[in-house]
Amino acid sequence: MLNKIKHLATPLLTVAGLLLSIFWMAGAFDSKIEPGEIVNNTPYKGESLTLQSTLTQLNEDVPATVRSKQTTHVAARILAPIKSIHVKAGDTVDKGDLLIVLDNRNNRSNVAQSKENINAIRAQLTQAKSHYTRTKSLYKKESVTKAQLEQASANYNSLRAQLASARQQLESSQTTSSYSKIRAQFAARVIDRFAEPGDLASPGMKLLTLYDPKSLRIDANVRESLALTLTIGQQLKTHIPALNKTLMATIEEIVPAADPGARSFLIKAKIENNGKLLPGLFARIVIPSGKQDQLLIPSSYIKKMGQLDVAWVLENNTPIRRFIRIGQQTDDKTLVISGLAIGEKLISPDQLDNK
C-alpha cells in the first residue's frame, strides 16, 4: 500500500511544480498596477496654444482635359493616288507649308485639253465674227437676206458662249489640279497621319490631323450646383499632374445646358501654353465651393507615432497625449477633423522635449 502511494505521489508533485512555474512566469505572484494613464503630476508652466476656429475658403478639385480650340482633319478633295507626304506625327508646320502631294496627271491632262479647246474655239470665233461683220454690211446693202444675217449672228453668239463655257471648264480643271497640293491653313502641329504614299485618296478621306498649339483650353464637366456659381472671365487655378505645373485658366464659355445623365455643365477655360502642354493631358481645376469654420493648427504641434497622429492637450495644467485625426495640409497649417475642440490648449512637442 505504501509503495502504491509513493508511486502516485511522484507524478502529482511533478504536475504541481509545473503549474507553480507557469503561474510564476505569468506574474501571478507579482504586485499589480491598476489600468490607466501615467500622468506627470508636475504642473506645466510653459507656452501653450489656445485653439480657435478659422473661416476657411473651401475648394473642390474637378477633373478636366486639355484640348485644342482649333483641331483640323486634313482630307482629300479629289480621287487620286498619294504621291508624297511631307510631315509626320509631332511635326510643327507654318501656314502655307506643303503637307501632301497627290498624283494629278489626269488633272493636268484635263487642263491641257481645256486650253486646246479654247484655242480652237477662238479660231472659229474669229472667223465667225468676220463673217457676221461682213454679212451685216451686205444686209445693209440688201445683198443678203435677213435669214442669212440671223444665221451668221447665231453662229457668232454660239461660239462666244462656247468660249465662255470652255474658260469655265479650264478654271474648274485648274482649281481641281490645285487640290493635288494640300497646304497648311494655319501654323499647327501634326497629331497623327492616317495614310502613306501610294494609298488612293478619295474625297473626304482623312489624311492628317492638325491642332493649333497656341489655342489650348481646359474642358471640365462641373456638377450643376457648383457650375452655377461660375462666371465668364473668372480665373481658376489648374494643376497638370503629368507636368507638375500649376497654371491659371480663364473661363471662356459655360455651355448653357446641363447633361441630364451626369447633372453637370461643360466649362471651357482658356489656358496659356508653356510649350509642353499637349491635347488630351489630364488636369484638375480648383473651383471655390464656399467658406466654412475649420480647426487649423500649426503642423509643428502634431507628431507622428507609427501610423497615428498625436497632439498634447493641456488638462488641469498637465500635458495629456491625445490621438487625433487630421485632414488636408495647407502651407504650415493642418486641418484637424476630430480629437480636438475649440478652446482647448495645445503644447508643442518641442516644449515637452525641453521640459
Q: What tens-digit pLDDT sequence spans the chain (355 residues)?
A: 555 665 666 676 777 777 777 766 666 665 555 555 545 556 777 788 888 888 777 788 999 999 988 888 999 888 889 999 999 998 999 999 999 998 877 777 777 787 888 888 888 888 888 888 888 888 787 777 888 878 888 888 888 888 888 788 777 777 777 788 899 998 999 999 999 999 998 998 999 999 988 889 999 999 998 988 899 999 999 999 999 999 999 999 999 888 888 889 999 999 987 778 888 899 999 998 877 788 888 888 888 888 888 988 888 888 888 899 988 887 788 888 888 888 888 888 877 766 5
The domain 70-104+179-214 having CATH identifier 2.40.50.100: the answer here is: yes
Question: Do 238 and 269 meet the contact criterion of CB atoms below 8 Å apart?
Answer: yes
Residue 305 is given by DSSP the state E
Note the CATH number of domain 49-57+293-354.
Answer: 2.40.420.20
Concatenating the DSSP letter of every residue in 133-156 gives HHHHHHHHTT-S-HHHHHHHHHHH
Cα–Cα distance, 159 to 279 (Å, whole number)? 58
Each domain of the chain, given as residue ranges in start order, spans 49-57+293-354, 61-69+215-290, 70-104+179-214, 105-176
In terms of phi and psi (left: phi > 0; alpha: psi -120 to 50; beta: otherwise), the region of 116 is alpha
Give pLDDT tens digits for 169-182: 777 777 777 788 89
Q: Measure CA 300 to chain center.
A: 37
**Architecture of the domain spanning 61-69+215-290:** Beta Barrel (2.40)
Cα–Cα distance, 281 to 66 (Å, whole number)? 5
Cα–Cα distance, 159 to 151 (Å, whole number)? 12
Question: Do 94 and 188 meet the contact criterion of CB atoms below 8 Å apart?
Answer: no
Report the topology of domain 105-176.
Helix Hairpins (1.10.287)
Q: For residue 234, what pLDDT is reported?
A: 93
Closest CA to 287 of 336, 333, 241, 221: 221
* CB neighbours of residue 277 within 10 Å: 20
Give pLDDT tens digits for 304-322: 888 888 988 888 888 888 8
Q: Which long-range contacts (CB under 8 A, 24 or more apart) does 106-112 make?
A: 106/80, 107/78, 107/80, 107/173, 107/176, 107/177, 107/179, 107/180, 108/177, 110/173, 110/176, 110/177, 111/170, 111/173, 111/174, 111/177
Instruction: Please indicate whether the domains covering 70-104+179-214 and 105-176 agree at the CATH topology level.
Output: no
